[in-house]
Chain A
Amino acid sequence: MSEAEGNEALFARGLSALEGGRPGEAIAAFEALADRGTMDAAASFDRGLAYAARARLVSGAAGTGARPGDLGQAAHAFEEARELSGGGPLAVDAGRALPILRGEVARRRARSGEPVELERGEGLGHSLVAIASEDTWAVLALVASVLFTVALVLRTRGVGRRVRVGAALGLAFAGPALVLFAVLTFGARHERLHVRDAVVVAPSARLLDERGIVLPQGGAVPEGARVRVMESAAALARIEWGGSGAWVQLGTLRFLPR
């Protein structure tokens, strides 16, 4: 049996277990697919559903009930499905599932008296970079470069006052635009190469300092939150969440594909 057929069979086994109300078995099958390195949006999506189904089971039933982190694992799977699908109905469904999951996390946290803030605004730099894709910034930078050059030529070679004034205005616009788009391209590329996104798959990820000691002001990133991992060292990861940075235990995170 080829590996592709094996993947199909494993997926079918997971789906059958999911539809048969055996989310634990479904999770085992979908996780085995992931362990094989199979990155498939549908498998991730169904894995998210399996985790969510297990999270619905009555807690305390040993081995079969919800386990801590199931909602976070489900959120991770839906985020992964959204990343892998590259748009389309699957991405829409995954995008629809995420608020439901995070709402459930918030509901459960509120019930246990914990803070319910699940999403925070990003830092200004990341927000700017994230407005458009890296290639969009790159194309805009190239266009600005061409405009700048044309304006420079007209400003120096052009005849006629109108042409020269127009060229001067072009220079005034294209120059800063070139610098801005080049910086945004560089920033987007840096994020792609050096920053990874991850989802908290534990009930919460306590904020630590670089020695792994809990920060004096406390605080924790809630389950299911999407964070940006700037670097990792030993068992700790330095994350950025809501524009502020701290360290968390690496084991509380699950990375999303680049």
Chain B
Amino acid sequence: MILSVVVILFGPRTAWGQDVPRVSVHLDADTVGVGDVVHLSLDVQSTQGPPRDPDPGKLGGVVLVDRSMSPSTSISVFNGSRSVTSGLSAIWALEARREGVHTLGPVTFLIGSRRFSTETLRLRVVAAGHAPPPSRAPPGGGPGNMASPFDLWKNLFGNDPFDRGGGGDPFAEPAIPTDPRLALEASRGEWAFLHATVDKGRVVVGEQVTLSVFLYVDVEARSLEFRDAHEAPLGDFVKRPILEDDAKQKSIGLAQVGNRIFDVRLVRKSALFPLKSGALEIGAMTLTMTGRGGGLMNRESERLPVRVDEPPMAGRPPGYTVGDVGRFALSATVSPRDLEAGGALAVTVELSGTGNLPSVLPLPEGRDFEWLDPDVRDDLKASGDRWGGKRTFTYVVRPRRAGALSLGQLRLPFYDADARAYSEAKVDLGTVTVKENPAAPAASASASAETADPLSTLPAPRPALHGASPPRGRHLADTPPFWGGLVAPSALYGLLLAASVAVRRVRQVAARRDRSEAAEAKARTLAAEAACRGEDPRAADGAVARAIEGAVKLHVGANLRGIPVDEVARTLESEGVDGATARGLQGILEACGNARFSPDADDMVAVRQRWQSAKEHLQALETRRRGRPS
């Protein structure tokens, strides 16, 4: 029985077709338990264009774990009039997470550029295990397909063959009843393929994940044989079969995949228990298929990711072993309760429940009894989709002394994944009475062994918590200035040293240059003095000109060689020499040049006067230079 249904007809229908989409949306249960999966289905038929982009809308209290979509198209011709009906079936698998009454939807979809929406649905979520037994819809059934009250054939074909496409066309091809929950958007292989699903994508270590592997076989395929099935690699899981016989392929219905119909067979259904946390993967199951021509084709199922976490630390009881997930109960029988020293008693503990039943029980401790290894018998199988049953541990227990001895209590902490909380299964084993028996051997050997045991010399336990350790300060090497500080002093000093050496060298070079120019000027002056004392006026004029050039180079920094004589005054003035001196020196150089190269040489008296005048001007230049800051 479909429990929550909304059927919506958008606008009036025409006589033989429909101008507006016909929509049905339903849940396959209206009350589920926490952790159960409920399916929300949408079925749309439209003549206005293909429906697309379905959206389940608001999902309060549930999470989306899987979805499938199946578009369809049907064409009908009646009285020469052709009509095309586009359909869309979408199914969302939702896992209930929170108790309460939740509102789902509205479900929306697009036709053309217009988005249509349905009414909302209500889902009641109760505590895990308290939901009424699931009552699934028949394949292809549901109120969405029961719209016509005038359908005379629905009991004959299982649904309304005339209403496929919603057009009410009595001559349309009868529809094949398919299960929308098995529909897929596209085929994963020609003629046949494998498809794997899990009921949960996120679990804790030890929590059951149900893996289902389906074989989809095209109903038009002939003479297909399947063999060489290789199981999915499951290195990170413990696997328990839910199907009684994996060799049998149980057909569970027909499904529309793309625009083809496939027979769907359930080939594997297993309870998987993850062994560790992390992003785990369920490997691909593979199958070899032989066609009519004998050709071999390989098919493999999807690789499915499963996110596995550890159960929460908050509230974790002492003694909890990671992986003990499920819902467990303990019961025990002790026989006999009265015995003589040296005898033994049997403690039979029955662990029952669903989930990953541990193979070892934490036993009560004490020095009064010695527990021998148990004999373990399992009676485990799937009940519905849940793995569980009972595991019986039979222990032989030897009392170590006489008296009324308490066997203690067996406690098994576990994590209830449905309730998302820790719980504890426990059973009190009661007391036994052990009578003295003089014939029993004394247990003194262990005492003497204990005295020789070096572990008995270990220090005494600490009676109280030590307190928080002093916080570890920051390490010097973690501070950014440390590594700079190692090299900075010497490096800085090195840089300073290099800079001072460089400056000194520059100064030395400059001084050397100054010294060479001064020496040159001095030599030229002495040469001019000597020439002026001689009797060769041309040589004396030449020497005077060279002395002026050398002195100007030294005192002014200007090189008069190569400069026309009539430019000398302007050049000197541009270097800051006063106009009188500049013009005087230019005049002397002109006179020297004229006298040297004239046919009639000047007499020595005139030359000596020029030299005397030149020395006065050069003296002015030297005075000027000394007056300037160097």
Contact = CB atoms under 8 A, between A and B. Distances in A.
**Chains A and B belong together in one complex:** yes
Interface string A1-33: 000000110110111011101111100110110
B20 to A, nearest CB: 58
A146 interface: yes
Given A145-B489, A145-B490, A101 B475 contact: no
Interface stretch (A135-143, A158-166, A216-224, A239-247): A135-143
Contacts of B395: 62
B367 A21 contact: yes
A10 B476 CA distance: 38
Nearest to A181: B486
A60 interface: yes
Nearest to A49: B461
A145 B459 contact: no
A103 interface: yes
A86 B466 CA distance: 11
Nearest to A8: B465
Interface of A is mostly: helix
B469 A22 contact: no
A86 B472 CA distance: 10
B371 interface: yes
Interface residues of B, number: 52
Interface in B37-53: none
A93 B459 contact: yes
B313 A62 contact: no
Given A60-B372, A64-B365, A138 B317 contact: no
A138 B477 contact: yes
Contact of A40 (B446, B461, B467, B489): B467
A62 B487 contact: no
Which residue among B317, B360, B493 has the maximum number of chain A CB atoms within 10 Å of its CB? B493
B487 A63 contact: no
A251 B468 CA distance: 28
Contacts of B469: 39-41, 84-86
Contacts of A15: 461, 463
Identify whether the interface residues of B are mostly helix, strand, loop, or mixed: loop
A254 interface: no
A24 B362 contact: yes
Given A15-B463, A36-B313, A97-B459, A64 B363 contact: yes
A41 B454 contact: no
A96 B362 contact: no
Nearest to A50: B461
A255 interface: no
Interface string A42-54: 1101100100110
B475 A135 contact: yes
Q: How many interface residues does chain A have, given as a range?
A: 35 or more
Output the residue of A42, A61, A107 with the most chain B CB within 10 A: A61
B461 A62 contact: no
Contacts of B478: 189
Given A32-B316, A103-B454, A149 B459 contact: no
B462 A62 contact: no
Nearest 8 Cβ contacts at the A-B interface? A63-B363, A28-B319, A42-B462, A149-B489, A42-B466, A22-B365, A138-B476, A32-B318
Interface of B: 313, 316-320, 360-367, 370-374, 395, 446, 450, 453-459, 461-470, 475-478, 482, 485-487, 489-490, 493-494, 497
Interface of A: 7-8, 10-11, 13-15, 17-19, 21-25, 28-29, 31-32, 35-37, 39-43, 45-46, 49, 52-53, 55-56, 58, 60-64, 84-86, 90, 93, 96-97, 100-101, 103-104, 107, 134-135, 138-139, 141-142, 145-146, 148-149, 152-153, 156, 178, 182, 185-186, 188-189, 192
29 contacts: A11-B465, A15-B463, A21-B366, A22-B366, A23-B365, A24-B365, A29-B318, A32-B320, A39-B469, A40-B466, A41-B466, A49-B459, A56-B455, A61-B370, A62-B372, A63-B371, A64-B363, A64-B364, A84-B469, A100-B455, A100-B458, A135-B476, A138-B475, A138-B477, A142-B482, A145-B485, A145-B486, A152-B497, A153-B493
